[in-house]
Amino acid sequence: MSLALRLRRPQPGLLLPQWEKAVGQHGFGYAVLAIVTVLVGAPLTAGLAMSLHMGLPGRSNTVSLENFRTAYLDPTLMEILGNTFGFALGTVLVALAFAVPLVWLLLRTDLPGKNVVFVLMIATLLVPVFLGAMGWILMFSPEIGLANALAKALFGLTEPPFSIYNIAGMALVQGLALVPGCFFMLAAAFRAMDPALEEASLITGANRLKTIFTVTLPLAWPAIAAVMVYMFMVSVSLFDVPAVIGWHARIFVLSSLVYFAVNPSVGLPSYGLAGAYGVLMVALGVLLAFFYFRVARNTRKYAVVTGRGYRPTLMKLGRWRWPALGFVSLYALLGLAVPLLSLGWAALLPRAMAPSVEALRELTLANFGLIPQYVGPKPFVNTAILVLLAPTLAVGLSVVVSWVTIRHQFPLRGLLDTLAFMPQAVPHILIASALAYLALIYRAWLPIYGTIFIIILADGIAFLAYGSRTLNSAMIQLHQELEESGRICGSSRLQALRNIVLPLIAGAVLNAWLFISLLSYREVTAALLLRSNENQVLSTLLWSLWNNGKSQQVGALGVVLIGVTVVIAWAARGALARALQTSSGR
C-alpha cells in the first residue's frame, strides 16, 4: 500500500526527468508554444522551404540554392540594403518624433481638442498609402509640386527647392503614415503610468522637461523599444511608398526586390526568390527580437501598475499649451491634412490634376455617383467580417503569448516571443502564398481555401507581431504582486489572468484590437493572393481600381468609407474613453 502510494505520488525530481517536470509546470506555456508554432511556423517553414525550390510551390522536387545565388550575388544588393536601412531608420525616427510627444500630449495632459486629433488619426489609417503618397508628390514634386511652384513664384527661384524623391522624403511620408500605429502601441503604456512618480519628480525640484526625460520616457522605454523594433521591421517590408516615390528616382529597397520577384512583367512569380530575400528579413527580425527581449525581460524595473491605488491626473500644460498646440497642428498638417486632402482631391476631380485654379474649376461630384457601378454589397460584408474576426484572432492569441512571455518563467519564452514576432519579418506575400498552398493541399481537413476565413487566418497570423508587442508593453507594467495576491486568495493562474490581468490591460487590448482591425481593413498583399469570387474585400477592390488607373474612383470610395468611420469613431469616442479609463490600472 505504502509502495503504491509512493508510486502514485512520486517525490518531485526523484522519478521524473527534469524536462518532464518542466512540462508539467509550464503545460500552458508549451500548449501556447505549440499553437503558435503551428500557426506561424507552418507558413514560415513553407515560405522558407519555397526558397529552396525553383518554380511554384509543389512544382519541383529538386532542392536548389539557385534563388540564394540570384539574390545574394546581385552586385547591387549592398546598395539596396543600405537604402533599406536608411529608409527604415528614417521612418522609425520620424514616426517616433511625432508619436511619442503626441501620445503624451493627448493622454497625459489637458491639451484641448484631443478627440478631434484622435478621430482624424483613425481616419488617416483608411487612406490608401499610395494615394497619400501621391498627395506628397502633388506638393513636393520638382516638376509639378505646389510648394515648389509657390516657392519659385515667391522667391524668384529658377530651380525647385524641394524634392520628395529621395530617401529622406520617403522616410518622411512613410514615418508620418505610421504615427497612428505607434500611437496605438504606446497609448496603453503612457496611460497606465502612475502620475505620483512624475509628481514626486516635480516636487523634488525637477522641471517638466527634466521629468519627462528622467521619469516618463524611461518608464515607457519597453513600449518605445517595442515600437522601434516593430516599426523598423514594418518599414523594411512596406512596399507602397518605396514604389510610388522611390522607383521614380531609382531608389530600390528590399521590398522592391520582393515585389519584382513576385510580379514579373510576364511569366510566373518567383516565390522562391522572394523567400531568399525573406531569409534576410527573418535574420534581421531575429536580431531585433533578441534586442527587444533583452529590454523586456527585466519586467520588475518597469512595473508601474501595483497594488497601491492611484488616481489618474492630467498634467496642466500652462504656458506650454500654445507650443503644444503648435506641435499637434504641425502633425495635423503633415500627417492628417496631406493624406486626407489628397484623397478628397482625387475624389473631386475628373482626372489626375496638379493643384491649380484650372483644376478648381473642374471639381465634380460625379465620381461618387459612379460608386454603385463598381461595388456590390459582397466586399462590404466580407470586409465587415474580416475587420471583426481578424483582430479577435490576433489579439486573443497575443494575450496568451504575452502573458506567458512576460508573466511566466516559461523556459522557452524567448523562442515564443521570437516566433510571435516573426510574421512581421516575413513578407506577407510569402505567408499568403504558403497559406494558400497549405490550405489547398489540406483542403479536406480545413476547408477554408477561397473563403474569407483564409484571409482572416492570414491577417490573424500577420498581425500577431503587432498584438504581442502592444500587449507585452502593457503586461510589463503590471507588478507581479497583483497576480500573486490573486493566487494567494485561491485563484488559479487562468483565473488570475481573467479576473486580474485582463481587466488591467483592457485598454491595451482594445487599442490593439482597434488598430489590427484597421490594419486588416487596409491589408492588400495577402488578401489579393488569397482572393476568389467569394471573398473579395474592399482593400482588394480599391487596389484593383488603382492598378487600372481609376484613382478617382478610389478617392471617392475612400472618402465615403472615411466618412462612415469618422461618424462611428466620433459616436463611440465616449464609450472608448470610458473603457480605456477603467483599465488604466485603477
Partner 1 sequence: MLSRFLPGLLALVLGLLLQACGGSVAAPAPSSGAASGGGDLKQLVDAANREGKVKLYINSSVSTDQWLRSLEQAFNETYGTKISIIGTPGGNFTSDTAKVVTETSAGQQPSWDIMMTTDAHYATLAKNGLLGKTDWAKLFGAPEKAVLFGGGGYTFSQQLVTPAMNTKLVQESEIKSWDDLLDPKWAGKIGVNTATHHWGRLSLPWGDQKTTAFIEKLAAQKPKLGATPETAQRLELGEIAIAATNTSTFVYDSQRKGAPVVAANVEPVLLVYNMAGPLKGGANPNAATLLAGFMATKKAQDLYEQASGETSVFVAGSKYNKSVEGKQFVAMTDDFLSGELDTRSAKYGKLLGFR
Q: Which is nearer to partner 1, 213 or 374 (CB)?
A: 374
Give the nearest distance from C-beta 354 to partner 1 in angstroms: 5
Distances 548 to 181, 382, 553 between C-alpha atoms, Å = 29, 22, 11
484 near partner 1 (CB under 8 A) = no
265 near partner 1 (CB under 8 A) = yes
286 near partner 1 (CB under 8 A) = no
> Rounded to whole angstroms, how far apart are CA atoms 94 and 136?
16
Q: Kindly state the DSSP code that residue 56 receives in the 8-state scheme.
A: S
> Rounded to whole angstroms, how far apart are CA atoms 456 and 443?
16
72 near partner 1 (CB under 8 A) = no
Q: Which is nearer to partner 1, 273 or 471 (CB)?
A: 273
Annotate 233-291 with DSSP letters as a single string: HHHHH--HHIIIIIGGGT---HHHHHHHHHS-SSS---HHHHHHHHHHHHHHHHHHHHH
Burial (Cβ within 10 Å: 0-12, 13-18, ≥19) of residue 134: buried
Give the nearest distance from C-beta 499 to partner 1 in angstroms: 25
> Rounded to whole angstroms, how far apart are CA atoms 478 and 476?
6
Q: Which of 94, 177, 194 is nearest to 504 (CA)?
A: 194
Stretch that binds partner 1, among 104-112, 206-214, 244-252, 573-581 (CB under 8 A): 244-252
Span 516-535, contacts to partner 1 by CB under 8 A: 528-529, 531-533
Give the nearest distance from C-beta 144 to partner 1 in angstroms: 5
Contact 334, 178 (CB under 8 A): no
Q: Which is nearer to partner 1, 367 or 584 (CB)?
A: 367
Q: Which is nearer to partner 1, 53 or 407 (CB)?
A: 53
Q: Give the Cα-Cα-Cα angle 248, 249, 253 (nearest 5 degrees).
A: 95
24 near partner 1 (CB under 8 A) = yes
C-alpha cell read off for 37: 508554432
Q: Which is nearer to partner 1, 80 or 482 (CB)?
A: 80
76 near partner 1 (CB under 8 A) = yes
Give the nearest distance from C-beta 1 to partner 1 in angstroms: 27
406 near partner 1 (CB under 8 A) = no
User: What residues contact residue 526 under an 8 Å CB cut-off, 6+ apart?
Assistant: 428, 429, 431, 432, 435, 455, 458, 459, 462
318 near partner 1 (CB under 8 A) = no
Span 4-23, contacts to partner 1 by CB under 8 A: 19-20, 23
544 near partner 1 (CB under 8 A) = yes
500 near partner 1 (CB under 8 A) = no
> Rounded to whole angstroms, how far apart are CA atoms 542 and 499?
42
372 near partner 1 (CB under 8 A) = yes
Q: Which is nearer to partner 1, 371 or 577 (CB)?
A: 371
Q: Which is nearer to partner 1, 424 or 552 (CB)?
A: 552
What residue type is assigned to position 144 of the chain?
Answer: I
Q: Give the Cα-Cα-Cα angle 411, 417, 422 (nearest 5 degrees).
A: 140
Give the nearest distance from C-beta 393 to partner 1 in angstroms: 19
C-alpha cell read off for 184: 496605438
Candidates 369, 376, 447, 563; binder of partner 1 (CB under 8 A) is 376
Number of residues counted as binding partner 1 (CB under 8 A): 93
Span 90-149, contacts to partner 1 by CB under 8 A: 130, 134, 137-138, 141, 143-144
248 near partner 1 (CB under 8 A) = yes
174 near partner 1 (CB under 8 A) = no
Candidates 2, 158, 204, 373; binder of partner 1 (CB under 8 A) is 373
> Rounded to whole angstroms, how far apart are CA atoms 47 and 549?
32
C-alpha cell read off for 297: 525581460
Give the nearest distance from C-beta 284 to partner 1 in angstroms: 19
Candidates 89, 352, 560, 579; binder of partner 1 (CB under 8 A) is 352
> Rounded to whole angstroms, how far apart are CA atoms 313 and 502?
23
Query: What's the gap between Cα 96 and its chain centre?
Result: 14
Give the nearest distance from C-beta 352 to partner 1 in angstroms: 4
Q: Which is nearer to partner 1, 213 or 442 (CB)?
A: 442
164 near partner 1 (CB under 8 A) = no
Output b/e per residue, 303-328; b: 16+ Cβ within 10 A. Answer: bbbeeeebeeeebebeebeeebbebb
Distances 253 to 87, 143, 172, 246, 463 between C-alpha atoms, Å = 8, 24, 16, 8, 22
User: Binding string to partner 1 for residues 26 to 65, with x set by CB under 8 A, is what?
Assistant: -x--xx--x--xx--xx--xx--xx-xx--xxxxxx-x--
C-alpha cell read off for 546: 488603382
341 near partner 1 (CB under 8 A) = no
Span 412-451, contacts to partner 1 by CB under 8 A: 433-434, 436-438, 440-443, 449-450
Candidates 354, 506, 566, 579; binder of partner 1 (CB under 8 A) is 354
Candidates 86, 101, 160, 269; binder of partner 1 (CB under 8 A) is 269
Q: Which of 354, 305, 331 is nearest to 477 (CA)?
A: 305
557 near partner 1 (CB under 8 A) = no
Q: Which is nearer to partner 1, 107 or 529 (CB)?
A: 529
210 near partner 1 (CB under 8 A) = no
287 near partner 1 (CB under 8 A) = no
